[in-house]
């Protein structure tokens, strides 16, 4: 990885991990904002997508690592603080079953073919992550207590990190614009539009869904 890309990758790691600081401060002051069921599921999601992204050589895997460390920290803080919520609603249950099926399929395929295909975990993790945003959006669409500034600031940082990851590290726009010859010279592989979009799928869906979530928060 070029030095400037490596720099931005770690900068985004710090930005994404730093977003958990206001989240934790706000959660410590208002523990009901910490739904330990959601954050526990996000730990599993982050662990599977971090590994699968890294093993496939995707440039943006450090942002996912920040999510893993951050979500695990929130769970520990919530357990220490007390007063947290544990709301395992229909959406969380779907995510839980979805991740269980995804991991189960990955194990079965790996044990059968002796090829532990990381794409199964990666794509399954993205699908589960999209569903996991539904409870947050539903919460802000219904009558609710206004989120703290800590919470809004944290989600804004998450969105910024995802956008920067997509543009500066995964270089999605640049890759899509490049012709096949230039792409092959720069990345030492043939250009495949689907693979390019797949590599940035997690950052892209996070950015879009976080923007919508923040807009709903600020209504």
**Per-residue confidence at 38, pLDDT binned at 50, 70, 90?**
confident
Q: Are 75 and 28 in contact (CB under 8 A)?
A: no
Q: Please tell me which residue, 69 or 95, carries the higher pLDDT value.
A: 69
**3-state SS assignment for residue 35:** strand
Inform me whether the pLDDT recorded for 96 exceeds 80: no
Please tell me the pTM assigned to this model. 0.88
Among 198, 191, 195, 156, which residue's Cα sits nearest to residue 177? Answer: 191
Residue with tokens 């999209």: 130
Residue with tokens 């879009």: 208
> Rounded distance, CA 115 to CA 99, Å?
19
**3-state SS assignment for residue 149:** helix
> Rounded distance, CA 35 to CA 33, Å?
6
**Per-residue confidence at 28, pLDDT binned at 50, 70, 90?**
confident
pLDDT of residue 150: 82
> Quick one: DSSP state of residue 169?
I
The region of weakest confidence among 20-34, 97-111, 177-191 is 97-111
pLDDT of residue 58: 92
Q: Are 118 and 52 in contact (CB under 8 A)?
A: yes
Mean pLDDT of the chain: 87
pLDDT of residue 40: 86
pLDDT of residue 144: 66
Question: Residue 168 to residues 102, 173, 198, 207: CA-CA distances in angstroms?
Answer: 30, 9, 16, 14
Contacts of 98 (CB under 8 A, 6+ apart): 124, 127, 128, 131
Task: Note the pLDDT tens digit of each residue in 143-189.
Answer: 767 777 888 888 899 999 999 999 999 999 999 999 999 999 988 88
Q: Please tell me which residue, 129 or 135, carries the higher pLDDT value.
A: 129
Inform me whether the pLDDT recorded for 91 exceeds 90: no
């Amino acid at each position: 990885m070029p030095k400037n890309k490596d720099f931005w990758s770690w900068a985004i790691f710090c930005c994404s991990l730093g977003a958990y600081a206001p989240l934790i401060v706000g959660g410590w002051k208002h523990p009901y904002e910490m739904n330990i069921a959601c954050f526990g599921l996000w730990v599993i999601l982050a662990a599977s997508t971090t590994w699968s992204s890294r093993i496939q050589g995707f440039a943006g895997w450090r942002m996912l690592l920040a999510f893993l460390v951050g979500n695990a920290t929130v769970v520990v803080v919530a357990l220490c603080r007390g007063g947290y919520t544990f709301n395992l609603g229909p959406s969380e249950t779907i995510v839980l079953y979805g991740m269980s099926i995804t991991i189960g399929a990955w194990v079965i395929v790996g044990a059968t073919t002796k090829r532990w295909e990381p794409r199964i975990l990666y794509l399954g993790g993205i699908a589960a992550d999209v569903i996991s945003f539904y409870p947050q959006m539903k919460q802000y669409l219904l009558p609710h207590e206004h989120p703290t500034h800590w919470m809004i600031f944290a989600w804004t940082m998450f969105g910024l990190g995802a956008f920067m990851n997509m543009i500066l590290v995964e270089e999605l726009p640049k890759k899509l614009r490049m012709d096949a010859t230039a792409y092959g010279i720069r990345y030492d592989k043939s250009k495949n539009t689907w693979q390019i979009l797949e590599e940035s799928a997690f950052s892209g869906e996070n950015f879009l869904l976080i923007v919508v979530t923040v807009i709903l928060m600020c209504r």
